[in-house]
Structure 1
Amino acid sequence: MNFETENDPEILRQAALLLERENQKLAKKIIELTRELLTLKGGDPEQLKLRIAELERQIASKNRMLFGEKSERRASDEESAPPAPPTPPKPPQKGHGPKAQPSLPIEEVPHVLDEADRVCSACGEMLDVWEGQFEQSEEVDVVPRRFVLKLHKRQKYRCRCGGCVETAPGPLKLFEGARYSIDFAIEVASEKYHDHAPLERQVRKMRREGLVVESQTLWDQIERLARLLAPGHEALVQYQLAQGVLGVDETRWPLLGKSEPSRWYAWSMVSTNAVAYRILDGRSTEEARKMLGGYKGVVMCDAYAVYKSLAKTEGFTLAHCWAHVRREFIEAEVSFPAEAKVVLDLIRGLYAVEAKCKPAPDGDEERLALRQAESKVLVERIRAFAETTNVVPKSRLDGAIQYMVGIWSGLTRFLSDPRITLDNNHTERAERGVVVGRKNHYGSRSRRGTEVAALFYSFIESAKLCGIDPKAYLRTATVAALRGERIPLPHEVAASPSGAS
């Protein structure tokens, strides 16, 4: 069975049940063999119990990761949070009330009485219109999307002298003789890379709405659009490489072939107002160099060894993510609740310090002062814990401490640089679109498909980060490209007086 491409829920459910049963058998066998091995080695009985207990907890933890719900929220976080101040009781309310819709256009729909109903029930005289008096109510309605076949008639003009003929200009086209409009191409791209609808699904939806079209035609539109916008994507990548701090991460992206899908990776670079993607055929140092080659700033990342290796040759500085450390100790908390709680509480204290500051860059000066005065003390306490705590070798707690110590210099770099955030969560959030898209259309079918996907995900996620409508931005960029102008980047459009809405 190919789990990468199988989409039948019942088949996947049966496969998961089989894997779970097999996993339980193997787990029991591992525990039995470990017990026999330690007994043969003549280990201390108490140490033997600790090792077996730790192994059982590790297996239980892995089972939860595979078959349970994932969450980083801890019950102790809610229990230890300070109680909220009492609020005065509110009067009982029926229902949830109407939700405000400030972005919807308002369309007034008048309602009048029929002529036969405009008769007074008391005297029989005709009723007069009461000027300015209405009973009003709101109703959210839907206007169905529709496709039209526009017949453009470009008027011709001539001079009586016979020496000049002029024709009115037509609409902008993606290419000479294009049958589909630029708005159609933008609609298809937005549906696929913003709303994650595969092209075949779009074909079925369009057919229900009256348009008969093939998926190849839709691909042709977005491929030509991507070709037009390619200089803007490259400019966005270069803009990111000029930033002082970048969040970097990578997530797998299948490239579907004739047999097994290959494991490509979507590499992301995230700054405060932009996201840039490249989809490359691996996650080695060579691919990382294609993404970060020439960068000299600060890279916020996880502990993946490729970044450390590349930093030595490229000359950028590494900063590491406290959220990843926190996750390690959450895993260890199952087996070592008291010890893990010490570190988790101190990490929560680091975030509490950050919450006191204004957002960057206005709060940078205050942030640096608070980090030196308060965060530094908390970091020293975490370090002391790591140096003085006795742990069972190769246990989950030992692994969490070793992970933290191994990236300590990157974890503490935020103390002296207010631009560096505590974690890389903003980069992981920017990857949600890629991950959802991967699940919906299973990656790309060609190398060119990966290039097109990287371009549109970069523009769409950047537009979302800047608070502008991705579809409106794509139109602004497309029109600029067709006119031979420089393609504005999303943060530039957001900063302009008109913006994109």
Structure 2
Amino acid sequence: MGLQLETEKDVERLRQAALLLEAENRRLVARVVELTRKLMSAQGQDAEELQLRLREVERQLAQRTAELFGRSSEKRPRREQGEEDKDKEAAPGHGPRAQPTLPLLEVVHTLEEADKQCPQCGGALAEMEGCWEEAEEVDVVQRRFVLQRHKRQKYRCGCGGCVETALGPPKLQPGGRYSLDFAVEVAAAKYLDHLPLERQVRVMQREGLTVDSQTLWDQVDALARRLAPAHEALHAALLTREILGGDETRWPLLGSKSQTRWHAWALCAPDAVVYRIQEGRDAQAARHLLQDFDGIFMVDGLSTYESVAAGSGGKLTLVHCWMHARRKYVECAEAFPQAEEALEMIAALYAVEREYKEGPENLERLLELRQHKSRPLLERLHQWACAQRALPQSGLGQAIKYMSQRWTGLTRFVTDARVPLDNGATERAMRGLAVGRKNHYGSRSRRGTEVTALFYSLLETAKLCGVDPKRYLREAALAALRGDSIPLPHQLAPSAEG
């Protein structure tokens, strides 16, 4: 009976199957290249063009093979001598890590009475004042659910005209059975640690609490309704910045016929990020995110942003990301060795940025460095791109086209020190949401997308500000229950562990 890849669970058999498939794939790649060569020769095509086309066929086939069997990485091998040794020297050892944020609990161990006797002479052992043999270990105090019965004392006056009742704890919902801290715990577990509600139900059952996922969702939803003004305020505060980064990623709406059209959009600054989950990647969705933003916006190559900028009357200025431009050359470097020249020049641009970070932070100093060192590198890179001969549809041709079409946005950083070299901060801000998508598979309702965007915005922003995310949710919710203005994460003092 043949191997059924869909149902086979034996790791070794699957590994053997993968090796066989990879070998067969390489054989077919070689055959396709050979047949392509014969066909193009028969058509009498130019020898140089023939070589370019064959190289592109080989690149496309190699890329498909890498997508199936290779590792996903944009890291380039280091060529500098001594770099490897330097890395080895900097690698941490295997000793115990310092734990400055953990509370220290001292446990004293003493001898049993029967052991307080000298085995040599039989005399009684006396304590050696101040002498201890000490060792540390990290321990865990298990989470515990309790059923609290709140008894609110009643008071009355002897005149019979007044009865008062002591206040109880603040409630997310009138008459609700679950505490505010319980709701915060569930929300943090889902949107900070990415645990789906069904998984939380199973964990809680092991810890003695019988609950269902609908009940957990009710607590999360009630907390989100209290914190909705903070989400809107965070969005409004970001739109007042001079420069923002933007990105988007897929976020399915489960059960929807158009679930694959739904995307999570992000606006990011160094100390804040806000998300909106919307249907589509069109200009309407981007305008809903950007509203009347009139600053500098760093993005990737999505054409939607170009459309929005064109319709903004010059208020929105697009700048582009060198990380995305570099990625195009990385993808084609194996088939087109000349792409290494572009990668080396782009690496030199990043070296200038690292040089700046080694000194005092000063935008004038950064602008001077960029004018003196980055501008000549850009001129060389532009000349190199103009001198290349590559098919427009080839990997190298597409990389040069991508860079050339966005050259104005890619070079804006040389004249404006506020503009970063890439959009890495925004891409890093999307990681938590992407991990959540892998665990949650998306949202089940439109309300679910709104709650997801809210909690990821507040929690990820708290992390950027160095504020404990769970502490922030609790303090923000308490402010909402008191009727006070809800603080944003940057308005709280950073956590000790931050």
Please report the TM-score for the alignment, with normalisation by the length of structure 1.
0.89
Equivalent residue for 2:49, pick from 44, 47, 50: 47
Does residue 1:328 correspond to 2:328, yes or no? Answer: yes
Map of 1:319 onto structure 2: 319
Unaligned stretches of 5+ residues in structure 2? 1-5
- Classify 1:291/1:345 alpha carbon distance in 2 versus 1 (closer, same or farther; 3 Å): same
Does residue 1:449 correspond to 2:451, yes or no? Answer: no
Q: Deviations over 1:261-288 (max 9, x none)?
A: 4430000011010010000011111111
Kept after mapping to 2: 8 A contact 1:273/1:466: yes
Q: Please, which moves more after superposition, 46-55 or 247-256?
A: 46-55
Kept after mapping to 2: 8 A contact 1:476/1:500: no
Does residue 1:100 correspond to 2:89, yes or no? Answer: no
Kept after mapping to 1: 8 A contact 2:250/2:260: no
Q: Distance in 2 between matches of 1:100 and 1:346?
A: 40
1:32 shift after superposition: 7.1
1:294 shift after superposition: 0.5
Q: Distance in 2 between matches of 1:438 and 1:159?
A: 58
How do 1:357-396 and structure 2 match up within 5 A? 357-358=356-357, 362-396=361-395
Q: Residue 372 of structure 1 aligns to which amino acid in structure 2?
A: Q
Q: Deviations over 1:83-108 (max 9, x none)?
A: 58989999xx9x82211111111111
1:120 shift after superposition: 3.3
1:35 shift after superposition: 4.7
Map of 2:422 onto structure 1: 423
Q: Residue 71 of structure 1 aligns to which amino acid in structure 2?
A: S
Q: Please, which moves more after superposition, 266-275 or 166-175?
A: 166-175
- Classify 1:262/1:57 alpha carbon distance in 2 versus 1 (closer, same or farther; 3 Å): closer
Equivalent residue for 1:129, pick from 104, 127, 151: 127
1:487 shift after superposition: 1.0
Map of 1:57 onto structure 2: 59
1:490 shift after superposition: 1.1
Map of 1:480 onto structure 2: 479
Q: Deviations over 1:409-437 (max 9, x none)?
A: 00000111111111111111111111111
Kept after mapping to 1: 8 A contact 2:59/2:332: no
Does residue 1:80 correspond to 2:75, yes or no? Answer: no
Map of 2:3 onto structure 1: none
How do 1:17-36 and structure 2 match up within 5 A? 34-35=36-37
Unaligned stretches of 5+ residues in structure 1? 1-6
Q: Please, which moves more after superposition, 383-392 or 255-264?
A: 255-264
- Classify 1:47/1:89 alpha carbon distance in 2 versus 1 (closer, same or farther; 3 Å): closer
Q: Distance in 2 between matches of 1:390 and 1:103?
A: 58
Q: Residue 249 of structure 1 aligns to which amino acid in structure 2?
A: D
Q: Deviations over 1:46-102 (max 9, x none)?
A: 432331232112221232134321111112xx1136658989999xx9x82211111
User: How many corresponding residue pairs?
Assistant: 486
Q: Please, which moves more after superposition, 103-112 or 212-221?
A: 103-112
Q: Residue 481 of structure 2 aligns to which amino acid in structure 1?
A: L
Kept after mapping to 2: 8 A contact 1:174/1:224: yes
Map of 2:464 onto structure 1: 465
Q: Please, which moves more after superposition, 459-468 or 22-31?
A: 22-31
Q: Deviations over 1:431-457 (max 9, x none)?
A: 111111111110000000000000011
How do 1:192-341 and structure 2 match up within 5 A? 192-257=190-255, 261-314=259-312, 315-337=315-337, 339-341=338-340
Map of 1:169 onto structure 2: 167
Q: Residue 269 of structure 1 aligns to which amino acid in structure 2?
A: L
The ranges of structure 1 where at least 4 consecutive aligned residues each deviate by more than 4 angstroms after the TM superposition are 7-14, 16-37, 81-90, 498-501
Q: Distance in 1 between matches of 2:183 and 2:241?
A: 32
Q: Deviations over 1:207-250 (max 9, x none)?
A: 00000000000000001100110000001111111111111000
